Amino acid sequence: MKRILLSGGGTGGHIYPALAIARAVKKRYPDVEIAYIGTENGLESKIVPKEGNIRFYTVEIQGFKRSISWENVNTIRKFIRAVKKSKEYIQEFRPDAVVGTGGYVSGPAVYAAHQLGVPTLIHEQNVVLGLTTKFLSRFADVVAISLEESQKYLTHARRIVFTGNPRATEVVQANAAAGRKSLGISDLHRPIVLFFGGSRGAKAINEAVLQMIPRMKELPQVQFVYVTGEIHYEAIRSRIGQDECPNLEVLPFIYNMPDVLAATYLVVARAGASTLAELTSLGLPSILIPSPYVTNNHQEANARWLQEQGASKMLLESECTGENLWAEVKRLIENPELHHEMSEAARKLGRPQAAEVLVDELEKISLAGVQ
């Protein structure tokens, strides 16, 4: 392969898988040229250029309103213009294949490639399909899925491949020793329980953890690590006050999350697609508290599926009190057999070779396109 064009945006859950694919392609084909179609003001415009050696193109596009709205007429106009612009980029860059990883920005890029006869692959990270995947699945040469459960929603796809999430390939290479060192934990046998709600934090998780802090002294052998999110950190530190316990560390953010996860015994988190990929690739038991504020409530579907496989315990946000959360944490800490069963169940779901499998698929469709 000589040139690959990627597109995905809106959230890190769409952007980081695209970059994981880019790195895997680059590893196999060191001289490959990579380009990316995103939006000027989206999160991808901040993350992708930092990767280096990726040509970044922009289109103007917005998502559809799920309710009836005149704004959707404007969305259609922008989509048509974005398709036209994407065709110009594709004809200039001449990629061997175009990859879409979700978010409405990937819609025009993949659809334009289809119209131009360029091989296409789309990747879905969640159990429940996003609107963009639903639309593009009729046109893409390959639909790659992270979770087997997604297959039942893909009734019009030409070809479906269960690859896993390429984020898993990078996380499985993480360094647990480096993770412990960054937290200042030298005891290799000290279990770490990690609470986090994403880069911005999650109010429901924060409130439940605050209620739990006085109980943490009951498990002095455990190191609790509580990541508040940067915007909540100062307020939470002031609320903890004298209640802080010696086996609790409170942090605003963790920059080496893969290494810390590799060192962790139990995770309490939201149920985003990237989190699921990380947990399953490392065989990490978890307590998942899905966000009810995401499109199509896809996090609950993610968490429920993981729970059904025996790899996690789901607590809905309405159930997430300090008492309930502490009961689940304590149950898993004090029951190593259950922890082991959940760990094995999670590991069976992991796809650590996901990025390499996706590169294999790209090779297939690009060669077919050449022929």
Asked if residue 13 belongs to a known ligand binding site, the reply is: yes
Q: 12: annotated binding-site residue?
A: yes
Residue 11 is assigned to a ligand binding site: yes
CB 121 within 8 A of CB 140: yes
Task: Tell me if 199 is assigned to a ligand binding site.
Answer: yes
Q: Is 254 annotated as a binding residue?
A: yes
Numbered residues of the known binding site for UDP-N-acetyl-alpha-D-glucosamine: 11-13, 126, 199, 254, 299
Numbered residues of the known binding site: 11-13, 126, 199, 254, 299
